[in-house]
Amino acid sequence: MALQLEQKKDIVADVNAAAGDALAAVLADHRGVSVAEMTDLRRRARESGVYLRVVRNTLLKRAVHGTGFECLAEVASGPTMLAFSRDEPGSAARLLKDAAADIRELDIKALSIGGQLLPPDAIDRMASLPTREQALGMLMSVMQAPVAKLVRTLMDVPGKLTRTLAAVRDQREQAT
């Protein structure tokens, strides 16, 4: 079934809006993926806040024109599935990396973050980016470390005084 011009414009506008809000993008070849696998992948994408869409290459090229993901137009060929990370830069990469482990037919073509096109083998690095909660936890532990060290240092002074007085007391008790 051929798409009408208005439908194509809607798809381009939808993908362009998603690209404008996205932090990172992953392009994959979905040739051979079953309907059940694709349905499960879409469900997992919704749960993780990833925009996932199968889009024609000509529409994809028009949609990403003028966005930070314009570099994806270079590698758009064959059946293309597009995943945009909305909340965390690594969420789309994590989703498709996990899916590619389960679905042999799913083939990652390219990644893009910060306007740079990355090769498919960079999926591991991108998928290992911490989630927002993990990053905040790491930041808080770094910020807390100097304060904790200061408290330990300040608490060490009364402890040394107490141990010194206890040693003097024990020495006097032994002398008598």
**Residue pLDDT, tens place only, 1-55:** 577 888 888 888 888 888 888 888 888 888 888 898 889 989 998 998 899 998 8
Calpha distance 169→35 (Å, rounded): 81
pLDDT at 9: 86
- The residue type of 71 is C
In the chain, the percentage of residues whose pLDDT exceeds 70 is: 99
For the domain made up of 5-129, give the CATH fold.
Alpha-Beta Plaits (3.30.70)
pLDDT at 43: 93
Q: At what angle do helices 5-21 and 57-64 cross, to 10 degrees?
A: 50
pLDDT at 131: 75
**Residue pLDDT, tens place only, 92-136:** 888 888 888 888 888 888 888 877 888 877 777 777 777 778 778
Where are the chain's structural domains?
A: 5-129, 131-176
pLDDT at 1: 58
> pTM for this one?
0.69
Phi, psi at residue 171, to the nearest 5°?
-65, -40
